[in-house]
Amino acid sequence: MTLKNFDGLTRVIRYPKKEWLTLDRNYYNTFIEVAADCPASSASVPPVNKKGKTKAAIEYELLSAHPYAFTQEDLLFEVHARHKGIPEEELIGQRTAFFQKPQPCFRSSMLPKKYGWGIHFNEAGKAAMVAMDSPGYEKFLNGEASGVKRVKAMRNKREQTDAKKR
């Protein structure tokens, strides 16, 4: 891999193992809880705006139609491809380019942050939505699902420190 330094010099980095270049961005046996500051009191369908479907609406559409069919990586790319309208024949090359850049994880998705949906990833890393007002969501919160790690979705707003509040 060739990188340009901040001083303009080019240097070559050699990785001893090819596996180091491949990152697994998927969650396994994990439940993403609704954000603490989520405005929803129950799960709702993300609206479609005038310009078309939002990323949240596409995520909802895919996960509601195909529970436990997509990994986080598959879902991130499929949402990107549908949102940008990438033709099917360009998808393979675009996927590689898409993951060359850092991508946000599903903790930052609007489904758990704004619309009241928890996201469960099973042992194979496949995702499904769980409504915050459902018995299934309560089972995850109460720890009744054994071996499942719980993480919260990212907050919508930063908490202000005491110094900033003054």
- The tens digit of pLDDT for each residue in 99-128 reads 888 888 899 999 999 999 999 999 999 999
Q: 3-state DSSP call for residue 71?
A: strand
Q: 3-state DSSP call for residue 95?
A: helix
Determine contact, residues 62/78, Cβ cutoff 8 Å: yes
Q: How many residues does the chain have?
A: 166
Burial class (CB in 10 A: 0-12, 13-18, 19+), 38: buried
What is the value of pTM for the model shown? 0.79
* Average pLDDT of the chain, as a whole number: 83
Question: pLDDT digits over 121-148, tens only?
Answer: 999 999 999 999 999 999 999 988 889 9
How far, in Å, are 23, 30, 96, 102 from residue 15 at the CA level?
14, 31, 19, 19
